[in-house]
A and B are shown apart, each in its own frame.
Chain A
Amino acid sequence: MIAAHIDPGRRMPPVAANTGANDTDDVCAAAAGDRRAFERLYRLHVGRVHGAVYRLAGYDRARAEDLTQEAFIRAWQKLPGFRHESAFGTWLYRLAVNLALMDIRARGADPVSMVNDEQLPDTGQTPFCAAEREELERAIGQLPPRARAVLVLHDIEGWRHEQIGSEMGMATGTSKAQLHRARGLLRKILGPAAPGVPA
Chain B
Amino acid sequence: MNEFEWRRQLRDLQQPLKPRRDLWISIDAALADAAPGSTRSSDPLRPRLPEHRRRWLLGASLAASALLVAGMGWRLLHAPAGLPLVASTPPTMSAWKPTDPRLVGAAIELDAARMELQQALRQAPGSAALQRLLARTERQQTQLRQSADPAG
Contacts and interface: CB of A to CB of B under 8 A. Distances in A.
Given A107-B47, A128-B5, A133-B12, A65 B23 contact: yes
A185 to B, nearest CB: 14
A106 B48 CA distance: 11
A129 B6 contact: yes
B102 interface: no
Contacts of A160: none
A2 interface: yes
A133 B31 CA distance: 36
Contacts of B45: 102, 105-106
Contacts, number: 134
B2 A128 contact: yes
B39 A136 contact: no
Contact of A47 (B7, B18, B52): B18
Nearest to B37: A80
Given A31-B36, A33-B35, A130-B1, A196 B12 contact: no
Given A55-B13, A156-B13, A66 B50 contact: yes
A8 interface: no
A78 B41 CA distance: 11
Contacts of A19: 16
A58 to B, nearest CB: 13
Interface string B70-85: 0000000000000000
B69 interface: no
A51 B15 contact: yes
A102 B44 contact: yes
B15 A65 contact: no
**Count class of interface residues, chain A:** 35 or more
A137 B38 CA distance: 37
Interface stretch (A69-77, A110-118, A163-171): A69-77
A35 B6 contact: no
A66 B27 CA distance: 10
Contact of A62 (B12, B24, B50): B50
A133 B13 contact: yes
A35 B3 contact: no
Nearest to B16: A47
Given A35-B31, A51-B15, A62-B50, A198 B23 contact: no
Contact of A77 (B9, B11, B34): B34
B23 A68 contact: yes
B10 interface: yes
Interface string A32-70: 110100110011001110111011000001111111111
B135 to A, nearest CB: 51
Most B CB atoms within 10 A — which of A19, A61, A66, A67? A66
A158 B14 contact: yes
Most A CB atoms within 10 A — which of B18, B20, B36, B38? B36
B19 interface: yes
B24 A198 contact: no
- The 4 tightest CB contacts between A and B, nearest first, are A47-B16, A51-B17, A128-B1, A62-B50
Given A2-B44, A69-B26, A133-B13, 5 more contacts: A30-B36, A35-B28, A42-B24, A72-B23, A128-B2
9 contacts: A76-B34, A76-B36, A105-B45, A128-B1, A129-B1, A131-B9, A136-B10, A136-B13, A157-B14
